[in-house]
Chains A and B, each alone.
Chain A
Amino acid sequence: MRNDRLTALVLIAVSIFSLLESNRYGPLSRLFPRVVAVALGVLSLVLLVQSIVRARPGYRQKSVGLPSASGAEPAETGSSGDMRGMLFSLLVMVAWTLLLEPVGFWAASVLAFSTLVLILRTPGKTVVWKNILGGAILVTMFVLVFRIALRVPLPEGLLW
C-alpha cells in the first residue's frame, strides 16, 4: 500500500509538470498532452485514495480490483530471489550499452556477455568456459550477419 501511495504521488507530480510544461506550446500542440496529463492526474488521485482507504484497519477487502494483488506471477515472488545477482547483471547491462559506441559493438558484446555468464554461473555445475565460448560464437555470428548480410552499420568503435 505504501508503494501505491508513493507511486501515485510521483505520477501526480509528473502530471502537474506536464501541465505546466505544455503551457509553452501552441494551442493545437498542447491540447492532447493536457488532456492526457489531466487524465493521469485524476487516475493517480484515485489510486492514492484507494491505497489510503484500503490501508485503514477497518477496511474489508472487496472482491474486485485489488491493487495489491497485482503484477504477473514472477513479480510477486520477485523481491525474494537473487537480488544481488540481478543488480550486478543490471550494472553489466548498463555498462554494455554505454560501451557499444566507444569500444565497438562486437567487442563490448563479447566482453559483457562473458561477464554475465560468469556472474550467473552456478558454482560447480556450469562449465563456464564452454558457455563463454558459446556466447562469443553466437555474438560473433549475429554481428557478422547484421554487418555483412543485412548491412546494418553497427558501431565499430576502437575494437570493432
Chain B
Amino acid sequence: MPAVLLALLQVIHPINLFLVTLGVGAGIVVGALPGLTATMAIALLVPFTFGMNVVHALVLLGGMYCGAIYGGSYSAILINTPGTPAAIATTFDGFTLAKKGHAYRAIVVATIASVVGGLIGVFFLLFLSPPLARASLRFGPPEFFWLTVFGLTIIATISPKSTVKGLIGGAVGLLIGTIGIAPIEGTIRFSFGTLALQNGISLIPALIGLFCLPEILDMIASRNEERSAVPYRSQRHMLRRVWRLMRRKPWLLIRSGLIGTGIGIIPGAGANIAGMVSYNEAVRVSNEPEKFGKGNLDGITASEASNNAGVAGSLVPLLTLGIPGAPPAAVLLGALLLKGFRPGAELFTVHATVTYTFMFSLIVANLVLLPLGLMLGKGASKVVAGLPVSLLAPLVFFLSVIGAFAIQNNIADVYVMLALGLVGYIGRKLGFQPGPIVLGLILGVMCEQGLVQSILIGRAAGMPVAIFFTRPISLVLIGLTLFSAGWPMVSRMRRRAAEPSHDSDSTMPSGGSHA
C-alpha cells in the first residue's frame, strides 16, 4: 500500500501534472490532424523522453496516447475524416451535426464521452488487470476469426440506405486488404508486378483517401460564395446543456466504456474497432435506430466513450504480460523496455510506485481532457468555420498529403491516398459509403490471419473444421454474430407489429432487408 500512497503523491507533483497536460494537449493536436495517429505521435516522442526519468516519460506518453485518441474526433466531426482510425464511427453522426452548425455541440459530447469512457477503462486497469490479462490470452486464432466476422455484421448498421451496397463496400475493403504479402505462404497477391503494391495498401492512407478526398471535392463543387462549409453556431452553457442530456442515458456511457475496455484488452483488436462495435450496439439497443447517422448525439457518445476506454484496456495485457493490446501500446512497450523495465509481475512489486503513478496519471489525463478538450475543440471548430472553402479545401488536402506520407515516410502512400480518394468519390456518387470499405480493410487482415492460423492448428489437431465450432468463446461470438445479423429483421418485425399504419411510407433506415 505505501507504493500506492507514494504514487498518489508523485502524480500530483507539479512536474507530472505539467507533463500530463503537455502530453494530452500535444496528443489532441496530433490526433486531430488526419493521418497522424496515436502510434505515430508516441513513436515520434519516444526519442525525446530518452533523457527523462521513467515516471516523467510514462506520464507524458500516457497523456499523449489519451489525447491523440480523443483528438481524432475533431477531424471526424469537422471534416468527416477520422483523425485516427479509432474515430471512424464518430464521423457518422458528428459530421452531420457539424454541417448544421452544431460542430461544437458534437465536440462537447465527444469530450464528455471520452472522459467518462477513459475513466471506466482506467478503473479496470487499476483493479482487475491480472485476471483480465489472463482471460485475454484465451483469445486464439479461431476467436479472432469469429470476432472479425461479428465485426462485419456492423456493416448492416452503418449502411442503412442500402445493405447490399454496404456489404459490397465491405467485400471491396476485404479484397483491398488481401493486396500484398499473404500471411502464411508469403505469396505476393494482386501486386500487378509493382513494387509499391507488394507492401499492401496501408490503412491510414486508405482511410484518409476514402473519407477525406470525397469531402474536399464535394466541398469544392457545392461551395457557395465565401460561406463556410462547416458553420459555427455558439450556444450558452453548452457543457451544462449537453451533460443534462447525456446524464439521462447512463447505460449508454457505461456500456460503451465496457465494450471499449473489453475490446482494448484483446491483444491485436484495439481501439480501431471498439468505436464501431459500440456504435453498433447503441443502434441496436436504441428505440429510435432510424435517428442514427443523422446527427444523433448517442452515436458520438457510443463511439468516443468506447475508443477512449480502449486506451487503458490496451495497457492491461501490456503491463501485466508484456503483450501490447494495440499498436500505440506496442510503442509504449518499447519505451518501457528502453528504461530497463520489464512488464510483468515485477512492475507491480519492485516497481509498483512507478506503475501506479503511471495509472493514476491516466486518471489525471482523462480529467485534464475535459477543460483542454473543450478549449481546443472550440478553437478548432471556430477556425474551420472561419475558413472560406478556397482556403479550407487546399489546407485539408495538404494535411492529407503530409499525413499519408509521414505514416511510413513513403511517397507511394500519397499516391495510394489519392487513388483511393478517387475510388471513394466515385463510390459515393454511386451510393457506396467509405465506412464499410474501411471496416473491411481493418477486419480483413485480422480475419484472414485468424482463418488460416486456425486451419493450421485445427489440421494439426485433426479437426480442421471443428476447431471453429467447439471452443466456448467462439460459440459465444458465433451467437453474437447470428444475433447481430438477424437483428435488423427482428426489429423490423417488432416495429411493424407495433405501428402497422406507418409500414408503407417510412424509409426505415435501420432496415436490412438483405442482411
Do the two chains bind? yes
Q: Which of B213, B394, B398, B512 has the most CB of A within 10 A?
A: B394
A148 within 8 Å of B (CB atoms): no
Query: What residue in chain B is nearest A8 (Cβ atoms)?
Result: B168
A17 to B505 alpha-carbon distance, docked (Å): 41
Of A44, A86, A112, A142, most buried by chain B (CB within 10 Å of CB) is A86
- Measured between beta carbons, the chain B residues less than 8 angstroms from A143 are 402
Q: What string of 1s and 0s marks CB contacts (under 8 Å) between B159-190 and chain A? A: 00111110110011011001000101101011
**Shortest Cβ distance from A45 into chain B, in angstroms?**
10
Contact A75 B429 (CB under 8 A): yes
B506 interface residue (CB < 8 Å to A): yes
Tell me the complex Cα distance, A69–B161, Å: 7
Once the chains bind, are B162 and A32 in contact (CB under 8 Å)? no
Which residues of A come within 8 Å of B, CB atoms? 3-4, 7, 11, 14, 18, 21-22, 25-26, 28-29, 31-33, 36-37, 39-40, 43-44, 46-47, 50, 63-75, 77-79, 81-83, 85-86, 89-90, 93-94, 96-97, 100-101, 105, 109, 112-113, 116-117, 120-122, 125-126, 131, 134-135, 138-139, 142-143, 146, 150-155
| Inter-subunit contact B44/A71 (CB<8 Å) | no
Select one of B175, B223, B391, B429 contacting A82, CB under 8 A.
B223
Give the docked Cα–Cα distance between A26 and B187 (Å).
Answer: 7
> Residue B346 at the A interface, CB < 8 A?
no
Q: Given that A7-B430, A97-B401 are contacting pairs, would A135 and B222 also be in contact in the complex, using a CB cutoff of 8 Å?
A: no
24 contacts between A and B (CB under 8 A): A26-B184, A29-B187, A31-B455, A32-B178, A36-B174, A39-B171, A43-B168, A69-B507, A75-B218, A79-B429, A81-B220, A81-B221, A89-B217, A89-B393, A90-B217, A93-B213, A105-B402, A113-B394, A116-B394, A120-B223, A120-B389, A131-B391, A146-B402, A153-B409
- CB-CB under 8 A from A78, the residues of chain B are 218, 221-222, 428-429
Kindly state the separation between the CA atoms of A109 and B402 in the bound complex, as whole angstroms.
10
- The docked-state distance in angstroms from the alpha carbon of A73 to that of B431 is 11
Q: A interface, by DSSP: helix, strand, loop or mixed?
A: helix
- B393→A116 contact, CB < 8 A: yes
Chain B residues contacting A70 (CB-CB under 8 Å) are 161-162, 165, 430-432
Q: Which of B394, B402, B455 contacts A135 (CB 8 A)?
A: B394
Binds A, one of B67-75, B120-128, B308-316, B410-418: B410-418
Contacts of A150 in B (CB 8 A): 44, 406
The reply to whether B171 and A82 contact each other, CB–CB distance below 8 Å, is no
Which of B58-66, B249-257, B446-454 faces chain A?
B446-454
B99 to A, closest residue via Cβ:
A73
A43 close to B167 (CB less than 8 A): yes
In the docked arrangement, what's the CA distance between A25 and B180, Å? 12
Q: What CA separation (Å) do A122 and B417 show in the bound complex?
A: 29
The answer for the CA separation of A89 and B174 in the assembled complex, in Å, is: 31
Q: Do the beta carbons of A11 and B409 come within 8 Å of each other? A: no
Report the Cα distance A139→B405, complex, angstroms.
15
Q: Does B397 contact A (CB under 8 A)?
A: yes
Q: Answer whether residue B513 sits at the interface, using C-beta atoms and an 8 A cutoff.
A: yes
Q: How far is the CB of A75 from chain B (nearest CB, A)?
A: 5
Contact B514–A65 (Cβ < 8 Å):
yes
With contacts A21-B190, A65-B514, A135-B391 taken as known, whether A46 is within 8 angstroms of B431 at the C-beta atoms is no
Known A36-B178, A122-B226: A71·B185 in contact at CB below 8 Å: no
B140: interface (CB < 8 Å):
no
CA of A143 to CA of B428 in the docked complex: distance in angstroms? Answer: 32
Name the 8 nearest CB pairs between A and B, nearest first: A70-B431, A81-B221, A120-B390, A29-B182, A116-B394, A29-B187, A40-B171, A64-B511
Q: Does B194 lie at the interface of the complex (its beta carbon under 8 Å from any beta carbon of A)? A: no
- By a CB distance below 8 angstroms, the chain B residues around A47 are 164-165, 168
- Given A50-B164, A63-B504, A36 and B171 contact (CB-CB distance below 8 Å): yes
B401 near A40 (CB under 8 angstroms)?
no
> Which of B220, B451, B514 is A46 in contact with, Cβ under 8 Å?
B514
Give Cα distance in the complex from A11 to B165, angstroms: 11
Name the A residues within 8 Å of B415 (CB-CB): 97
For residue B391, which residue of chain A has the nearest CB? A131
> B residues within 8 A CB of A63?
503-508, 511
Q: Is the CB of B221 within 8 A of A72?
A: no
